[in-house]
């Protein structure tokens, strides 16, 4: 291929106990997938799932310092279980959906909550609230061979040592195989697609200098620090 200019590097996430990385294709996110979080956002907890996406190059590794993003005064955390698609498909039945999963990771669906709320209230797309630079902390990835398919167990996030989110994976309204099946009826899933499966209750703002510790039972814990705004975004 003779490109006019050099393509950007392939977006990727780390793999536990390995120097190999997983190339990221798309990032699908499930909205309001824990009943208590749906209620804290003022929504009904029985609605069918809906989705939004983030660009692949929004991913950042665990252990990173993330610059406080521009255009917000309310950067919010959302700890999430991330399912990593290893085998693609369309119209995947729920019964075989987990066969398409390579593994799992801890994620954070960082959100410019004030922007998201303004966009939502104006019936406009959420992208500017959700799909900004560095908005998807993911990793490291754990293969199914090592961790199985986490379906119950704690999912937690603390900020500067204070517990903010403390849910259980079994509180998901739509579980991972259901979500895979539903997405695949709408568009093809392919290897390297990530599915951020929603966040439990307890979302809230973070500030520059905050240290976020995320943990999911069976997947260990990962830390992210919120840094100052990037140069030019002050
Ligand atoms: Mn989310």
Closest to 74 in 3D by CA, of 207, 234, 227: 207
pLDDT value of position 45: 63
pLDDT of residue 19: 97
* 12-229: CATH architecture: Alpha-Beta Complex (3.90)
Geometric angle at alpha carbon 231, from 226 and 234, rounded to 5°: 75
How many A from CA of 109 to the centre of ligand 1? 5
- Give the C-alpha separation, 27 to 232, whole Å: 27
User: Separation of 199 CA from ligand 1 center, angstroms?
Assistant: 5
Q: What is the pLDDT of residue 90?
A: 98
**What value does the mean pLDDT take over residues 177-185?**
97
Per-residue pLDDT reduced to its tens digit, 70-83? 999 999 999 999 99
Backbone angles phi, psi at 100, to 5 degrees: -90, -5
Long-range contacts of 225-231 (CB under 8 A, 24+ apart): 225/64, 225/65, 225/66, 226/65, 226/66, 226/68, 226/75, 227/65, 227/66, 227/67, 227/68, 228/67, 228/68, 229/67, 229/68, 229/69, 229/70, 230/67, 230/70
Whether pLDDT at 225 is above 90: yes
Q: What are phi and psi of 200, to 5 degrees?
A: -75, 175
For the chain, the average pLDDT equals: 95
**What is the Å distance from ligand 1's center to 180 Cα?**
16
C-alpha distances in angstroms, 155 versus 141, 174, 200?
Answer: 16, 16, 8
Distance 6 CA to ligand 1 centre (A): 32
SS (H, E, C) 213-228: EEEECCCEEEEEEEEC
The pLDDT tens digits of the residues spanning 18-27 come to: 999 999 999 9
User: Structure pTM?
Assistant: 0.95
Closest by CA to 224, choosing from 164, 130, 159, is 159
**Span from the CA of 94 to the centroid of ligand 1 (angstroms):** 22
Q: Which residues are close to ligand 1, an ion, with C-beta < 5 A?
A: 78, 109, 199
Residue 231 CA, ligand 1 centroid: distance in Å: 27
The tens digit of pLDDT for each residue in 84-133 reads 999 999 999 999 999 999 999 999 999 999 999 999 999 999 999 999 99
- Kindly give the distance from the C-alpha atom of residue 2 to the centroid of ligand 1, in angstroms, as a whole number: 38
What local confidence, expressed as pLDDT, does residue 44 receive?
A: 67
Is a pLDDT exceeding 60 seen at residue 234? no
pLDDT of 43: 73
Q: How far is the CA of 7 from the centre of ligand 1 (A)?
A: 29
Q: Residues 192-214: pLDDT tens digits?
A: 999 999 999 999 999 999 999 99
């Amino acid at each position: 291929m003779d490109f006019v200019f050099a393509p950007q590097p392939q977006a990727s996430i780390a793999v536990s106990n390995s120097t190999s990385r997983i190339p990221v294709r798309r990032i699908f996110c499930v909205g309001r997938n824990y009943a208590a979080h749906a209620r804290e956002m003022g929504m009904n907890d029985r609605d069918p799932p809906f989705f939004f996406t983030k660009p692949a190059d929004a991913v950042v590794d665990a252990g990173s310092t993330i610059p406080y993003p521009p255009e917000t005064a309310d950067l919010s955390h959302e700890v999430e279980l991330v399912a990593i698609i290893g085998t693609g498909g369309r119209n995947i039945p729920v019964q075989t959906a987990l066969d398409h999963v390579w593994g799992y990771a801890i994620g954070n669906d960082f959100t410019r909550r004030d922007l998201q709320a303004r966009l939502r209230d104006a019936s406009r797309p959420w992208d500017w609230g959700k799909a900004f630079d560095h908005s998807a902390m993911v990793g490291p990835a754990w293969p199914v061979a090592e961790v199985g398919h986490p379906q119950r167990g704690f999912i937690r996030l603390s900020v500067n040592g204070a517990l903010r989110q403390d849910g259980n994976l079994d509180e998901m309204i739509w579980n991972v195989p259901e979500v895979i099946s539903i997405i695949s009826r709408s568009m093809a899933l392919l290897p390297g697609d990530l599915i951020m499966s929603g966040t439990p209750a307890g979302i809230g703002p973070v500030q520059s200098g905050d240290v976020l510790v995320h943990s999911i039972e069976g997947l260990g814990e990962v830390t992210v620090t919120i840094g100052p705004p990037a140069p030019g975004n002050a």
